[in-house]
Amino acid sequence: MFYLLWGSDVVRSLLSRTAPQSAVDVGFPVNPVHVMDLALLLPGMALTGLLLRRRRPLGYFLAAPFLVCVITIGLAVMGMVAVMMLRGFPPAYPARSQ
C-alpha cells in the first residue's frame, strides 16, 4: 500500500517535472519519508518476510530489528497525532480527488 501511495506521488511529480508537494512543504528536493520507506524499510521488510518464509537464519536475525523499528515508528506517529490534536491542529488526511 505504501508503494502505491508514495509511488503515485513520485510518478505524478516525475511526469509533471515538478517536486512532489510533500517535499516542497518540508523544503527539501525529495521527501525524506519517501526515501526511507521506498528505499530502505519496505524492501528490507519484504526481504525479511521472504527469508522468514523460507526459514533462513538471516530472516530470523533481521525480523527482531524490523519489528522494533515498525513499532517505534508507529508509536512516534501516534504520539505526533495525539500532540497535534491536543494543540488544536486539524487532522491532515490525504486529499481525495473528486
The whole-number average pLDDT for the span 51-56 is 97
pTM of the model: 0.70
**Residue 34 near residue 6, CB atoms below 8 Å:** yes
The whole-number average pLDDT for the span 3-15 is 83
Report the percent of the chain where pLDDT is more than 70: 92
State the Cα–Cα distance between residues 60 and 49, nearest whole angstrom.
9
What 3-state DSSP class applies to 18? coil
The amino acid at residue 23 is A
Enter the C-alpha cell of residue 54.
Answer: 523460507
pLDDT digits (tens, 9 = 90+) for 23-53: 888 788 888 888 888 888 999 999 999 999 9
Greatest Cα pair distance, the chain, in angstroms, is 48
